[in-house]
Amino acid sequence: MKVKVISVLEDNYMYLVIEESTRDAVAVDAAVPKRLLEIIRKEDVVLRAILTTHHHWDHARGNEELAQLFPGLQVFGADERIGALTHKVTHGQELTFGAIRVRCLFTPCHTSGHMCYFMWEDDSPDAPALFSGDTLFVGGCGQFFEGTAEQMHNNLTQILGSLPKDTKVFCGHECTVRNLKFALKVEPENEMVKEKLAWARQRDDEDLPTVPSTLQEEFLYNPFLRVTEEPVQRFTGRTDPVEVLRALRSERDNFKKPKERPNPQAMLAFDWGLFGPFLEKK
């Protein structure tokens, strides 16, 4: 099982999971068909199915076009709002694509129909993979657009948190640096947060993805998985895990946005005096 990490749009990830013996492939959150088709051709695979985590356009907008290009393409998801949906899946349902096994994990909150996908191959030495959409991020979790803190707590602790600790986490967005800046605000003494943030900044500078992480790592630096830890409770002023999570999400929603970086071309234009005529007083 080979996972191709594909960066699209502003900060989204879509994925192509390849069954290497048959060269069949499954896409996760196929938002940009053109980019996906490039990878399919390059890898010389056959697209058999799309797994969609939720209906938001930046995760599902390519479904209809791909369904037209590949007659008989199966599109799986848990929400009727997902475009070109052919198979509505339920919590715990298992799917098989060649040697690839998939367990559907229902995680409502970010949207009421959000589904994560846990994948593995029997008798493989490789760690399993979790495609967590906008429920669990590297260092963070999704916003509670259509759900509650109680739901997200259950998602993170009971459903995703109980998976094997070596599970690789492939999330829906690249927001690791900002997540970890917030995590550092929550736990300024947490050495794991400091190390992961330094690493993530380096990856960001080199324009490289920060996925996958592992579930085991997330429990060391992700504040949303650390709601029973004393420093996290002290930061929120709460002790009940659900209330800690609710307070964390509220703080994260209000966390200052990163300063906009100046446009490099604009800076060059200023250096060369190209804006001079527009800036001179008449």
- Number of domains the chain contains: 1
Mean pLDDT taken over the chain: 93
State yes or no: is 55 an active-site residue. no
Find the domain containing 10 and state its range.
2-268
pLDDT at 282 over 50: no
Q: Which of 24, 55, 56, 79 is catalytic?
A: 56
Q: Which of 24, 54, 55, 153 is catalytic?
A: 54
Q: Is residue 275 part of a domain?
A: no
What count of Cα atoms within 13 Å lies in the side-chain half-sphere of residue 87? 18
For the chain, percent of residues with pLDDT exceeding 70: 91
Q: Which of 24, 114, 134, 153 is catalytic?
A: 134
pLDDT at 260 over 90: no
Q: Is residue 82 part of a domain?
A: yes
**Which pLDDT value is given to residue 257?**
59
State yes or no: is 56 an active-site residue. yes
* Chain segment 114-142, per-residue pLDDT in tens: 999 999 999 999 999 999 999 999 999 99
**Which pLDDT value is given to residue 256?**
72
pLDDT at 281 over 60: no
Q: Is residue 256 part of a domain?
A: yes
Q: Which of 55, 59, 114, 153 is catalytic?
A: 59
State yes or no: is 173 an active-site residue. yes
Q: Is residue 277 part of a domain?
A: no
Q: Is residue 278 part of a domain?
A: no
* Chain segment 19-67, per-residue pLDDT in tens: 999 999 999 999 999 999 999 999 999 999 999 999 999 999 999 999 9
Burial of 214 (0-12, 13-18, 19+ CB in 10 A): middle
Q: Is residue 276 part of a domain?
A: no
**Which pLDDT value is given to residue 275?**
46
Residue with tokens 């509505």: 88
pLDDT at 185 over 90: yes
One-letter amino acid of 126: D
What count of Cα atoms within 13 Å lies in the side-chain half-sphere of residue 150? 0
Q: pTM value?
A: 0.90
- Band of pLDDT at residue 17, cut at 50, 70 and 90: very high
Query: Mean pLDDT, to the nearest integer, of 143-158?
Result: 98
Neighbours of 186 (CB within 10 A): 23
Query: Mean pLDDT, to the nearest integer, of 148-173?
Result: 98
Each as own residue / partner, the long-range contacts of residues 237-243 (CB below 8 Å, 24 or more positions apart, any chain) are: 241/153, 241/157, 242/149, 242/150, 242/153, 243/149
Query: Mean pLDDT, to the nearest integer, of 69-78?
Result: 97
For the chain, percent of residues with pLDDT exceeding 90: 90
* Chain segment 217-249, per-residue pLDDT in tens: 999 999 999 999 999 999 999 999 999 999 999
State yes or no: is 271 an active-site residue. no
- Band of pLDDT at residue 276, cut at 50, 70 and 90: very low
Q: Is residue 279 part of a domain?
A: no
pLDDT at 254 over 90: yes
Q: Is residue 150 part of a domain?
A: yes
Q: Which of 24, 29, 58, 79 is catalytic?
A: 58
* Chain segment 155-166, per-residue pLDDT in tens: 999 999 999 999
**Which pLDDT value is given to residue 264?**
53
CATH number of the domain that residue 231 is part of: 3.60.15.10
State yes or no: is 58 an active-site residue. yes
Separation CA 175–CA 140 (nearest Å): 8
State yes or no: is 134 an active-site residue. yes
